[in-house]
């Protein structure tokens, strides 16, 4: 609605950066145990494999809660829901920091994941409501900047802090950041009403909306390809003699992702379709080069940089496309995105593990290339709904109806 948007055409950076910090906390909270497994296992008196289930519990919480909680809270005021998710992180990260019982810690991680599932379904729609339609892509790019920052800086810093001063302190720091975020949200983030009963769409309606399934298909195939490589990046880059420099490789990836999200913010409103197709094509080309020259450290670093560049804007591009396609069903559609995205992470880990064990890392580029070609085909076909040509707002105005055969 017009009354919900910022006057004067500018971006409300204070509010958008608060949403970015919420995303940052989601990502760091999710991935922090992965870098501290030995310390957590020792602190709780469990095996490393049991400690690894703290990551699994978080993912399961997100998967199970995203859609039902989003549907249940659609009529609530938006800032109330946002604060509820942030307070969830405060409570459950604090329990994680203090608990000496494995099962209590596991449940705290599960409910932290529940908070994340609701947060991710909320952030994109919230950012779009703060600005005029012409600025929605740029607003979402700002709101999503917390993800690459968390991956490139937050996770390594949290791992370093936990290794130096103890894993409990790392989670305590996350609780401290959450307290700051609560105050930030109360001061800077505007409040909006939830959806009325006449606006709310059933899950089945959202799924059948033209373009929604196409975008979700691209989300799954693109993120599955990404996560096969990213989850097993250490053994993959070892083939180029970079096994002792995985941290440097990930830093290069993270820096490139930040550049990617900056570029996406400038391109998304006028060239969203081109940006999606170009990102997928560049990633596919990189996977081909990886397959041909996997033993070269120089090629590996260059390829990782381009891969990070294409990944940096992926969340912004895909969530914007999904929100545009879903219309009034935006929050439900974005909760479906949470489920599909996290499913791709889980399947990527499982499938990558099977491939690694049976055929080795040399087969990763070929599998990734096939997945990206499928993703490209879906995105290319969705030229009217899903990933329309031209300026986002013009495309939405000119193409309100479903095209025969397009999901």
- Residue 320 to residue 333: CA distance in whole angstroms: 11
- Residue 365 to residue 289: CA distance in whole angstroms: 8
230-238: Cβ within 8 A, 24+ apart: 230/348, 231/345, 231/348, 231/349, 231/352, 232/352, 232/353, 232/356, 232/361, 232/364, 235/356, 235/361, 236/294, 236/361, 236/364, 237/300, 237/304, 238/361
The closest of 1, 259, 238, 41 to 132, measured between CA atoms, is 1
The reply to whether domains 2-188 and 203-397 share a CATH topology is yes
Angle at 93 between CA 342 and CA 344, to 5 degrees: 5
Q: What is the pTM of this model?
A: 0.80
Which residues 6+ apart lie within 8 Å of 8 measured at CB?
Answer: none
Domain range 2-188, CATH class: mainly alpha
> Tokens 């203090």 sit at which residue?
98
282 neighbors 306 (Cβ within 8 angstroms): yes
| Total Cβ atoms within 10 A of residue 401 | 8
Which residues 6+ apart lie within 8 Å of 304 measured at CB?
Answer: 237, 249, 252, 253, 256
How confident is the model at residue 41, as a pLDDT?
Answer: 87
- Residue 230 to residue 352: CA distance in whole angstroms: 10
Concatenating the DSSP letter of every residue in 54-67 gives: HHHHHHHHHHHHHH
Half-sphere exposure at residue 223, Cβ-oriented, CA atoms within 13 angstroms: 23
- Residue 340 to residue 59: CA distance in whole angstroms: 12
> Tokens 């830093």 sit at which residue?
251
Concatenating the DSSP letter of every residue in 334-401 gives: HHHHHHHHHHHHHHHHHHHHHHHHHT-GGGHHHHHHHHHHHHHHHHHH-TTTTS-SS-HHHHHHH--S
How confident is the model at residue 401, as a pLDDT?
Answer: 39
- CA distances to 124, 143, 209, 264, 266 from 136, in Å: 9, 10, 21, 12, 11
Direct distance between the N- and C-terminal alpha carbons of the chain, in angstroms, rounded to an integer: 27
Which residues 6+ apart lie within 8 Å of 163 measured at CB?
Answer: 35, 36, 39
Q: Provide the residue ranges of all domains of the chain, joining segments of one domain with +.
A: 2-188, 203-397
pLDDT tens for the chain, 407 residues long, are 334 455 445 789 999 999 999 999 998 898 888 777 778 888 999 887 788 788 878 888 988 888 899 888 988 999 999 999 999 999 999 999 999 999 999 999 999 999 999 998 888 889 888 988 888 888 888 888 887 788 767 767 777 777 788 899 989 999 999 999 999 999 999 999 887 655 556 778 888 888 999 999 999 999 999 988 887 887 888 889 988 887 788 888 888 988 998 898 888 888 999 999 999 999 999 999 999 998 899 999 999 999 999 998 898 899 889 988 988 788 788 889 988 988 888 788 788 888 888 898 899 999 999 999 999 999 999 988 889 987 765 455 444 434 334 44
The closest of 93, 135, 128, 136 to 113, measured between CA atoms, is 93
> Tokens 């999901």 sit at which residue?
407
Instruction: Give Cα 394 distance to the centre of its chain.
Output: 27
215 neighbors 383 (Cβ within 8 angstroms): no
Which residues 6+ apart lie within 8 Å of 228 measured at CB?
Answer: 348, 351, 352, 355, 364, 367, 368, 371
Angle at 235 between CA 229 and CA 240, to 5 degrees: 95
322 neighbors 333 (Cβ within 8 angstroms): yes
Half-sphere exposure at residue 401, Cβ-oriented, CA atoms within 13 angstroms: 2
Domain range 203-397, CATH class: mainly alpha
How confident is the model at residue 106, as a pLDDT?
Answer: 94
Instruction: Give Cα 83 distance to the centre of its chain.
Output: 20
- Residue 172 to residue 95: CA distance in whole angstroms: 9
């Amino acid at each position: 609605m017009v009354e919900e948007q910022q006057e004067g055409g500018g971006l409300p950076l204070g509010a958008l950066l608060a949403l970015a910090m919420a995303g940052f906390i989601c990502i760091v909270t999710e991935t922090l145990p992965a870098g501290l497994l030995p310390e957590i296992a020792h602190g709780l008196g469990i095996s490393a494999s049991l400690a690894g289930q703290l990551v699994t519990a978080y993912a399961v919480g997100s998967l199970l809660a995203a859609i039902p909680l989003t549907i249940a809270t659609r009529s609530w005021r938006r800032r109330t829901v946002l604060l509820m998710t942030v307070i969830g992180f405060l409570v459950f990260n604090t329990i994680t920091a203090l608990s000496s019982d494995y099962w209590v810690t596991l449940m705290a991680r599960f409910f932290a994941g529940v908070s994340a599932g609701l947060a991710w379904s909320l952030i994109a729609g919230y950012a779009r409501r703060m600005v005029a339609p012409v600025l929605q892509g740029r607003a979402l790019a700002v709101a999503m900047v917390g993800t690459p920052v968390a991956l490139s800086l937050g996770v390594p810093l949290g791992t370093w802090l936990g290794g130096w001063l103890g894993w409990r302190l790392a989670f305590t720091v996350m609780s401290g950041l959450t307290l700051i975020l609560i105050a930030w949200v109360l001061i800077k983030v505007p409040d909006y009403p939830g959806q009325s009963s006449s606006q709310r769409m059933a899950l089945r309606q959202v799924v059948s909306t033209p373009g929604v399934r196409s975008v979700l298909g691209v989300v799954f195939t693109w993120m599955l390809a990404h996560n096969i490589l990213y989850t097993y990046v250490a053994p993959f880059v070892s083939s180029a003699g970079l096994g002792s420099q995985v941290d440097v490789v990930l830093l290069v990836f993270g820096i490139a992702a930040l550049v990617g999200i900056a570029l996406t913010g400038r391109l998304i409103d006028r060239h969203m379709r081109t940006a999606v197709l170009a990102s997928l094509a560049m990633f596919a080309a990189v996977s081909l080069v990886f397959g041909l020259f996997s033993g070269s450290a120089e090629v590996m670093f260059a390829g990782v940089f381009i891969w990070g560049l294409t990944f940096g804007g992926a969340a912004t591009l895909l969530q914007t496309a999904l929100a545009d396609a879903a219309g009034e069903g935006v929050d439900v559609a974005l909760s479906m995105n949470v489920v599909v995205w996290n499913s791709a992470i889980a399947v990527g880990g499982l499938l990558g593990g099977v491939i690694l064990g049976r055929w080795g890392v040399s087969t990763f580029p070929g599998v990734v290339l096939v997945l990206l070609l499928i993703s490209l085909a879906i995105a290319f076909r969705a030229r009217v709904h899903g990933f329309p040509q031209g300026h986002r707002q013009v495309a939405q105005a000119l193409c309100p109806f479903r095209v025969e055969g397009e999901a």
